[in-house]
Amino acid sequence: MIGQHFPDIKDKLLNTLQLRQSNQGDNELLLASIEQRSKALSVVPFVKAINFNENKRYYKYAAVPGAIMLFLLLFIPQLFTEGTERIFKFNKSFAEPAPFEFVLENKGLNAYRNEDLEVKVNLKGEAIPDHMYLIHQGRRIKMVKNEDQTYSYTFRNLQKEENFYLEAAGYSSEEYQLKLLSRPDLKDFEVILHYPAYLNKKHEELSNAGNLTVPEGTQIEWNFRTVDAERMLVQFNQENGIDLEKEGNGFLLKRRSMKSEEYTLRMFH
């Protein structure tokens, strides 16, 4: 059967099989010849056994279904994309398409710990239901309908990330995730005062001293320790802010005081 697909090796293969059958004893020369022939036959490109030219006569039968698939792909691509998505994401539940659209008005679902977050939703479509519900932790909560025809619900005193989805007229939205953030905060800070040399006064260290009274020319060094802050901006009077880079778990600022001024701190994620 192999020889029918590979005429070039048909005779060699048959000859090798005949040698194996005739080897009844322990003939080392014959065994060596069989091994040599077997190695020569071991590298055979099986792709040569398939003649693609024979399939060309069937192309005309594939033209009609191919044209239909191309038409559907151009004008109704979701027929293919949605089906394959359901196959690859087999463990995800897909809601039945609704005659209206759930539009989340929130720019982002990021909330801060121990604070409230209002979720605001709008409905767009020809048939708009009168009521909407928020499904959270197995609870079905009726949302408040506002004067602008939007619906809202407020999560109170958030302590952890939450998942929820929306429901209206028996149709469900995709699942949303509410992510929880911690506001950056100033834990404490130290101030080191390096007085001018002419005062002949040793440097002084202060803790959490925001208001300072120092001689003109004093070099002030602040060491701010923060929580959940990746960036700090310090602004003196009407000057442009000084953007500090984080060093370890805090920020360091050095400045020589030459006049009276106020300063503010801003911390960012």
| Residue 249: predicted pLDDT | 83
**Do the Cβ atoms of 128 and 101 come closer than 8 Å?**
no
What is the model's pLDDT at position 79?
Answer: 62
Whether the CB-CB separation of 249 and 226 falls below 8 Å is answered with: yes
Half-sphere exposure of 190 (CA within 13 A, CB side): 6
> Is 119 within 8 Å of 152 (Cβ atoms)?
yes
Could you report the per-residue pLDDT of 66-117, keeping only the tens digit for each?
888 888 778 777 666 666 655 655 565 555 667 889 999 998 899 988 899 9
Q: pLDDT digits over 153-199, tens only?
A: 999 999 999 999 999 998 999 999 999 988 888 999 999 999 999 99
Q: Say which residue the tokens 């398409």 belong to.
A: 97
Q: Are 111 and 118 in contact (CB under 8 A)?
A: no
Give the pLDDT score at 183. 86
Which residues on adjacent β-strands are paired with residue 45?
none
Domain ranges of the chain: 2-49, 52-88, 100-181, 185-268
Tell me which CATH code domain 100-181 carries: 2.60.40.10
Question: Strand 110-112 to strand 176-181: parallel, antiparallel, or no bridges (unpaired)?
Answer: parallel
